Amino acid sequence: MAKVKSKYRREESELIDSMIKSGNSTFITSLTLVETSKIKGYQIYDCTYVDNGTKKQVNIIAYDINDAVSKVESIVGLGVSQQAANLMLGSEKFIKDKNG
């Protein structure tokens, strides 16, 4: 993986502040694959994102990275708390069949 020059590396809080000051109040700061799910074909991702200026960290059960981003996208801007988001995105109960 390519290294980022040290002059471009900031602490997460500094990066978040910079993004908000530049007019971006909703964005993903990290999305990491952490484990395979007990649901066949699904993985568990750890996602840190900022929703309207508020940092949130959730686990997401998703088919692939596109599915994970789509799930986060579906709840941002709705005022969903971190706890509720974690319940909705990290629960097998809310998994839709990937074929429909």
Q: What is the pLDDT of residue 99?
A: 45
94: phi then psi, degrees, rounded to nearest 5:
-105, 15
Q: What is the pLDDT of residue 4?
A: 75
Asked whether the beta carbons of 56 and 50 are under 8 A apart, the reply is yes
Q: Residue 85 carries which DSSP code?
A: H
Give CA–CA dist 13/34, Å, rounded: 23
Q: What is the pLDDT of residue 76?
A: 93
Nearest C-alpha neighbor of 71 from the set 61, 56, 57, 82:
61
Asked whether the beta carbons of 71 and 89 are under 8 A apart, the reply is yes
Give CA–CA dist 18/30, Å, rounded: 16
Q: What is the pLDDT of residue 100?
A: 43
Mean pLDDT by 10 residues, the chain (100 residues): 77 92 94 94 96 95 95 93 92 64
Nearest C-alpha neighbor of 58 from the set 68, 17, 66, 67:
68
Dihedral sign, Cα of residue 79, residue 72, residue 39, residue 83: negative
